[in-house]
Amino acid sequence: MPRMNMISPEPAAQPGFTWPVRVYFEDTDAGGIVFYANYLKFFERARTEWLRACGIDQRRLADTQQIMFVVRSTAVDYRAPARLDDVLIIDSRIERLGPASVDFYQQASCNGKVLSTSTIRVACVQRATIRPVPLPDAVRQALLSGPRDAGLSTLAR
Protein backbone atom coordinates (compact mmCIF):
# COMPACT_ATOMS: atom_id res chain seq x y z
CA MET A 1 0.00 0.00 0.00
CA PRO A 2 1.52 3.37 -0.95
CA ARG A 3 2.31 5.82 1.83
CA MET A 4 0.67 9.21 1.90
CA ASN A 5 2.73 12.38 1.49
CA MET A 6 5.50 10.51 -0.24
CA ILE A 7 7.48 11.73 -3.23
CA SER A 8 8.91 8.97 -5.40
CA PRO A 9 11.28 10.31 -8.03
CA GLU A 10 11.11 8.71 -11.45
CA PRO A 11 14.10 6.35 -11.84
CA ALA A 12 15.14 7.96 -15.13
CA ALA A 13 14.96 11.43 -13.59
CA GLN A 14 16.89 10.46 -10.47
CA PRO A 15 20.65 10.53 -11.06
CA GLY A 16 22.69 7.80 -9.46
CA PHE A 17 26.07 8.19 -7.84
CA THR A 18 29.22 6.09 -8.02
CA TRP A 19 31.98 6.05 -5.41
CA PRO A 20 35.10 3.84 -5.40
CA VAL A 21 36.34 2.20 -2.19
CA ARG A 22 39.60 0.27 -1.90
CA VAL A 23 39.67 -2.75 0.41
CA TYR A 24 42.39 -2.45 3.04
CA PHE A 25 43.79 -5.13 5.35
CA GLU A 26 41.70 -3.72 8.22
CA ASP A 27 38.53 -4.41 6.18
CA THR A 28 39.20 -8.15 5.93
CA ASP A 29 38.62 -11.04 8.30
CA ALA A 30 40.87 -13.98 9.18
CA GLY A 31 39.92 -15.62 5.89
CA GLY A 32 41.20 -12.67 3.88
CA ILE A 33 37.81 -11.50 2.65
CA VAL A 34 35.87 -8.35 3.51
CA PHE A 35 34.12 -8.73 6.85
CA TYR A 36 30.37 -8.57 6.18
CA ALA A 37 29.68 -5.54 8.41
CA ASN A 38 32.24 -3.45 6.53
CA TYR A 39 29.92 -3.24 3.53
CA LEU A 40 27.74 -0.98 5.69
CA LYS A 41 30.77 1.30 6.17
CA PHE A 42 31.41 1.35 2.42
CA PHE A 43 27.75 2.19 1.74
CA GLU A 44 27.85 4.93 4.40
CA ARG A 45 30.92 6.53 2.80
CA ALA A 46 29.24 6.54 -0.61
CA ARG A 47 26.05 8.14 0.77
CA THR A 48 28.08 10.78 2.60
CA GLU A 49 30.02 11.62 -0.56
CA TRP A 50 26.76 11.72 -2.51
CA LEU A 51 25.37 14.30 -0.08
CA ARG A 52 28.55 16.35 -0.50
CA ALA A 53 28.23 16.13 -4.29
CA CYS A 54 24.63 17.37 -3.94
CA GLY A 55 25.89 20.38 -1.96
CA ILE A 56 24.53 19.15 1.37
CA ASP A 57 26.85 19.92 4.29
CA GLN A 58 25.83 17.61 7.15
CA ARG A 59 27.91 19.41 9.77
CA ARG A 60 26.36 22.77 8.83
CA LEU A 61 22.84 21.27 8.95
CA ALA A 62 23.53 19.96 12.44
CA ASP A 63 25.04 23.25 13.63
CA THR A 64 22.64 25.73 12.02
CA GLN A 65 19.33 23.86 11.68
CA GLN A 66 19.84 21.33 14.47
CA ILE A 67 19.02 18.38 12.21
CA MET A 68 20.97 15.31 11.21
CA PHE A 69 20.58 12.04 9.34
CA VAL A 70 20.47 8.67 11.08
CA VAL A 71 20.14 5.17 9.68
CA ARG A 72 16.66 3.85 10.45
CA SER A 73 16.91 0.40 8.84
CA THR A 74 19.08 -1.71 6.59
CA ALA A 75 18.72 -4.84 4.48
CA VAL A 76 21.87 -6.27 2.91
CA ASP A 77 22.28 -9.18 0.52
CA TYR A 78 25.76 -10.69 0.20
CA ARG A 79 26.47 -12.43 -3.11
CA ALA A 80 30.24 -12.79 -3.47
CA PRO A 81 33.34 -11.88 -1.43
CA ALA A 82 35.64 -8.94 -1.91
CA ARG A 83 39.32 -9.31 -1.05
CA LEU A 84 42.32 -7.24 0.00
CA ASP A 85 43.25 -4.49 -2.50
CA ASP A 86 40.05 -4.87 -4.54
CA VAL A 87 38.55 -1.60 -5.71
CA LEU A 88 34.83 -1.73 -5.09
CA ILE A 89 32.48 0.48 -7.00
CA ILE A 90 29.55 1.58 -4.85
CA ASP A 91 26.56 2.59 -6.97
CA SER A 92 23.80 4.42 -5.13
CA ARG A 93 20.40 5.78 -6.02
CA ILE A 94 17.31 7.01 -4.22
CA GLU A 95 14.46 4.52 -4.22
CA ARG A 96 12.02 6.65 -2.24
CA LEU A 97 12.01 10.18 -0.90
CA GLY A 98 9.55 10.61 1.95
CA PRO A 99 8.63 13.57 4.14
CA ALA A 100 11.32 12.81 6.73
CA SER A 101 13.30 9.91 5.26
CA VAL A 102 15.16 8.68 2.21
CA ASP A 103 15.42 5.08 1.03
CA PHE A 104 18.68 4.36 -0.79
CA TYR A 105 19.46 1.36 -2.96
CA GLN A 106 23.18 0.65 -3.01
CA GLN A 107 25.28 -1.94 -4.75
CA ALA A 108 28.94 -2.92 -4.34
CA SER A 109 30.66 -4.43 -7.35
CA CYS A 110 34.18 -5.33 -8.40
CA ASN A 111 35.26 -5.76 -12.01
CA GLY A 112 31.62 -5.72 -13.09
CA LYS A 113 30.53 -8.45 -10.65
CA VAL A 114 27.88 -7.54 -8.06
CA LEU A 115 29.14 -8.47 -4.58
CA SER A 116 26.50 -6.97 -2.29
CA THR A 117 23.27 -4.99 -2.49
CA SER A 118 21.44 -3.02 0.16
CA THR A 119 18.40 -0.95 0.88
CA ILE A 120 19.04 1.61 3.61
CA ARG A 121 16.49 4.01 5.09
CA VAL A 122 17.95 7.24 6.43
CA ALA A 123 15.78 9.47 8.62
CA CYS A 124 16.05 13.21 9.16
CA VAL A 125 15.89 13.89 12.90
CA GLN A 126 16.04 16.81 15.31
CA ARG A 127 19.51 16.81 16.84
CA ALA A 128 18.51 17.21 20.49
CA THR A 129 15.62 14.74 20.58
CA ILE A 130 16.49 12.34 17.75
CA ARG A 131 12.83 12.60 16.70
CA PRO A 132 11.88 12.67 13.00
CA VAL A 133 11.45 16.05 11.35
CA PRO A 134 10.62 16.93 7.74
CA LEU A 135 13.48 17.24 5.30
CA PRO A 136 14.21 20.93 4.75
CA ASP A 137 13.06 22.13 1.32
CA ALA A 138 16.64 22.93 0.25
CA VAL A 139 17.77 19.40 1.15
CA ARG A 140 14.79 17.86 -0.67
CA GLN A 141 15.56 19.95 -3.77
CA ALA A 142 19.25 19.02 -3.66
CA LEU A 143 18.38 15.33 -3.41
CA LEU A 144 15.89 15.57 -6.27
CA SER A 145 18.41 17.46 -8.42
CA GLY A 146 21.07 14.88 -7.65
CA PRO A 147 24.82 15.18 -7.44
CA ARG A 148 26.67 17.83 -9.41
CA ASP A 149 28.76 14.98 -10.82
CA ALA A 150 28.29 11.21 -10.93
CA GLY A 151 31.04 10.56 -8.38
CA LEU A 152 34.79 10.37 -8.27
CA SER A 153 36.72 7.58 -9.88
CA THR A 154 40.34 8.23 -8.91
CA LEU A 155 40.75 4.76 -7.38
CA ALA A 156 39.13 3.08 -10.35
CA ARG A 157 41.62 4.56 -12.83
Residues assigned a catalytic role: 29
The sheet carrying 17-22 orders its strands as 17-22, 87-97, 101-110, 113-126, 67-78
* Residue 103: partners with Cβ closer than 8 Å, 6 or more residues away: 94, 95, 96, 97, 119, 120, 121, 122
* First-to-last C-alpha distance (Å) of the chain: 44
User: Three-class SS of residue 153?
Assistant: coil
